[in-house]
Structure 1
Amino acid sequence: MSRADQERWDARHTAVSASGEQACLPPDALRGRLELLPAGGRALELACGRGAVAVWLAQRGFAVDAVDVSGAGLEAAAALATRSGAGDRVRLVAADLDDGIPASCPGPYDVVVCQRFRDPRLYDAMAARLAPGGLLVVTVLSAAGDEPGPFRAAPGELAAAFGAIAGLQIVSHDEGNGAASLIARRR
């Protein structure tokens, strides 16, 4: 990621932080499917931003590694974790995912979440970090039902990419209205 991109995300997270409190929320793809979530264990959230999902997972008993490039986002995530009583269960990792998933996050994880960040070069690495029975939860911007763009997945991209990874079983795949979501489980 360029320095300009990092500064843009820092400015965005700083502006959002100034606007008020933040809620802890499940990943978009799991809404209405919470029964798929394991009872606890270890979780990895990539591109965690301000930590809403990471803290939500920690509140459900997961030890969470949360990765983001934005220092302002990670500061907001730390504050949210502390306010929510989950500060001891969320480890924040400053890293640029353009360089790959950090070596300090080797897994295995019972849940891997990546929401609103798309880098097809990371798909295999995300799946490789799953423990047996682990759940992969991905939501990205999509050209399905919207205009194509450099940050949007092509229609069918997630299903094709993760469906081709040995040992993964797709549990759910939805796309349309400019978003694509996939849930898969490691066999």
Structure 2
Amino acid sequence: MAGEDRERWDAKHRALGTGTPLPPDALRGHLDLVPDRGRALDVACGRGAVAVWLAGRGLDVVAVDVSPAGLAAGGELATAEQPPGRIRWVEADLDDGFPVEDGVYDVVVCQRFRAPALYPALAAAVAPGGLLAISVLSEVGDAGGRFRAGPGELVRAFGELEIVAHHEDAGEAHLLARRPPRET
């Protein structure tokens, strides 16, 4: 990501300030599937609303974003909402690849960041029995563009996982999927 993109995101996050903990869009109607312990990864976490929400559910979270201002806002939100230590904030440019290589996660979230080159790494980060919740801008019900997923892109990209829910409409695509548990 170019330095000017990082600066643009920093300016946006500084202007918005601290947010409110919120579940990811792909989990709407499925909050009961989120575990109350384990590990979570929030990719392109922005101001940390989802990361803090996941920590509030009892998960230990790794939250990754390119924007130091976004991560700082997330840290402020976490301080206001959670006991310390539940979230590890990681500054990384996802255009340079997947920065987190410390195992698998019970919940992997990627909201409003489309990077098809990272789809295999996102899928690989989901633990057996774990969930993937991903939301991106979509061409379905909206104009096309380089940042928008084509029809069925998420289902095709994450076909190795069991699809729990999938929705494409009004310029958005949401996918909730689960990696099958290991057989005993």
Task: Specify if TM > 0.5.
Answer: yes
The one of 157, 161, 175 aligned to 1:161: 157
1:91 aligned residue? 88
Q: Which runs of 5+ in 2 are unaligned?
A: none
**Residue 107 of structure 1, CA deviation:** 2.3
1:3 aligned residue? 3
TM-score by length of 1: 0.93
2:126 aligned residue? 130
Counting aligned pairs with the same residue, the percent is: 62
Question: Is it true that 1:23 corresponds to 2:20 in the alignment?
Answer: yes
1:92-128, Cα deviation, whole Å (9 max, x unpaired): 000001111114x422100000000000011110010
Amino acid at match of 1:184: A
Is contact 1:58–1:86 with CA below 8 Å preserved after alignment?
A: no
Aligned runs of 1:91-110 on 2, under 5 Å? 91-103=88-100, 105-110=101-106
Distance 1:176 1:26 in 2: 20
Question: Is it true that 1:43 corresponds to 2:36 in the alignment?
Answer: no
Is contact 2:48–2:63 with CA below 8 Å preserved after alignment?
A: yes
Is contact 1:69–1:95 with CA below 8 Å preserved after alignment?
A: yes
Structure 2 counterpart SS, 1:145 = coil
**Residue 85 of structure 1, CA deviation:** 2.0
Question: Is it true that 1:180 corresponds to 2:173 in the alignment?
Answer: yes
Is contact 1:57–1:64 with CA below 8 Å preserved after alignment?
A: yes
Moved over 6 A (4+): none
Aligned runs of 1:69-80 on 2, under 5 Å? 69-80=66-77
Distance 1:99 1:122 in 2: 10
Distance 1:112 1:148 in 2: 27
Distance 1:162 1:120 in 2: 11
Question: Is it true that 1:59 corresponds to 2:52 in the alignment?
Answer: no
Structure 2 counterpart SS, 1:87 = coil
Distance 1:48 1:111 in 2: 14
1:52-93, Cα deviation, whole Å (9 max, x unpaired): 000000001000000000000000000000010243100000
Distance 2:168 2:42 in 1: 21
Aligned length: 180
Structure 1 counterpart SS, 2:158 = helix
Amino acid at match of 1:15: A
